Amino acid sequence: MKIIMGILYISFLLIVPMFVIKNFSENLQLIYFRTSPLIFIVLFFIVSSTIANKFSIKVLAKANLIIIPIVFISIIVILLSSIKNFSPQRVFPILGYGVNETFFKGLANLFSFSGIGYLLFLNPFINKTTEFKKISIISIIISGIYLFLSVTCILLSLAFTFKSGESFSLYLLTRNLEYGRFIQRIDAVFILIWIISTISYISIAIYFCIYIFKKLTKICDSSSMNYTVNLFILTLLILPGNFATINNLIGKIFKFSSLILIFGLSIIILILANLKLKIINNKKGKV
C-alpha cells in the first residue's frame, strides 16, 4: 500500500509541475515571446528549479517566506486598483450556467485545492510536530485569503461569461489597471512576481517528489535524483504537441484522478491509519 500510494503521489507531483510550467510558459510565449520556441521559456523554469532543489527544504521554505508577502502585496494592489471596475451585479447569477454546470461538471475544478496534498508530507520537516495542526490550519487560512482576494477581483470585475486560462485570469485583470496618464500598463510587473512564485511552487513540488522517492527506495543520497526528475519533467513537457492537447489532458484525466487521490484515497488511508493507531493505543492501555 505504501509503495502504491508513493507511486501515485510521485506521479501527481511530477504531473502538477509539468502542467503548471506548460500552462505558464504557453501564456508567456503568447504574451511576450512570440518568436521564441517554447522550450526556451520552459528551460528557465527547469534550470531554476534544479538549482533550487540542490538546497534543503529549509532554504526553500525561507525563500517562500520572502516571496509570499510580495505576492500578497501584488494581490492587494490588484484588488485596490480594480475597485473602480467592481460591479456587484457581476456576482449574479450566483449559480452561473446552472446547478449542473457549477456543481457536477465543475466538480473537477476542486482540483485547484489539490495543494492540500502537500500538508500530508509536511510533518517530518516540522521541528515541533505537536504544532502540525496549527501550521496546517494557518496555511489553509493563508491560501484561503489569497484565493478569496483573487476570486473577488475576478468575480467583481469580469462577467461570469468571461473565460480564460486558469493561471492567467488575474493577468487579464491587470491589463486594465492604470494609474493616471503615466502608468497605463503594469501587467509585466505582476508577471514578474508570479514567475517567481511559480518557480518557488514548482521547486517545492519537485522537492516533495524526490523526497517521496527517497523514502520509497531508501536511498541515502538523493541529490542526483534532482537532475533526473527535472529532466524527466522537461521530457514530459516536450511530449504533448500544444496547449490544446495539454488542456484536454488536464480536463479529462488528471483533474479527476488527482481529486480521487487527494480527497478520496488519502482521506481513506488517513482514517484507516487513525483507526489502527487507536486500536494499538487501546491494546497498549489494556496491557
Contacting positions for other proteins (CB under 8 A): 28, 32-33, 40-41, 44, 47-48, 51-52, 55-56, 59-60, 62-63, 65-67, 181-189, 191-193, 195-196, 199-200
Helix and strand numbers, DSSP H then E, in the chain: 11, 0
Supply the minimum distance, in Å, between the C-beta of residue 121 and other proteins.
Answer: 21
Which residue matches cell numbers 506521479? Answer: 11
Task: Identify which of 202, 255, 205, 203 has the alpha carbon closest to the alpha carbon of residue 10.
Answer: 205
Helices 57-81 and 38-52: crossing angle, nearest 10°? 130
Task: Identify which of 110, 107, 119, 108 has the alpha carbon closest to the alpha carbon of residue 9.
Answer: 119
Q: Tell me whether residue 40 or residue 132 sits nearer to other proteins (CB atom).
A: 40
Q: Tell me whether residue 41 or residue 154 sits nearer to other proteins (CB atom).
A: 41
Q: Tell me whether residue 101 or residue 178 sits nearer to other proteins (CB atom).
A: 178
Supply the minimum distance, in Å, between the C-beta of residue 234 and other proteins.
Answer: 15
Supply the minimum distance, in Å, between the C-beta of residue 142 and other proteins.
Answer: 16
SS3 category, 179: strand
Supply the minimum distance, in Å, between the C-beta of residue 173 and other proteins.
Answer: 15
Supply the minimum distance, in Å, between the C-beta of residue 129 and other proteins.
Answer: 17
What are residue 185's phi and psi, to 5 degrees? -140, 110
Supply the minimum distance, in Å, between the C-beta of residue 223 and other proteins.
Answer: 14
Grid coordinates representing 68 are 509570499
Q: Tell me whether residue 36 or residue 248 sits nearer to other proteins (CB atom).
A: 36
What are residue 85's phi and psi, to 5 degrees? -90, -5
Supply the minimum distance, in Å, between the C-beta of residue 182 and other proteins.
Answer: 5
d(CA 65, CA 80): 23
Q: Tell me whether residue 8 or residue 199 sits nearer to other proteins (CB atom).
A: 199
d(CA 131, CA 134): 5
How many other CB atoms sit within 10 Å of the CB of residue 20?
18
| Rounded-to-5 percentages of helix, strand, coil across the chain | 80, 0, 20
Q: Tell me whether residue 33 or residue 227 sits nearer to other proteins (CB atom).
A: 33
Q: Tell me whether residue 53 or residue 258 sits nearer to other proteins (CB atom).
A: 53
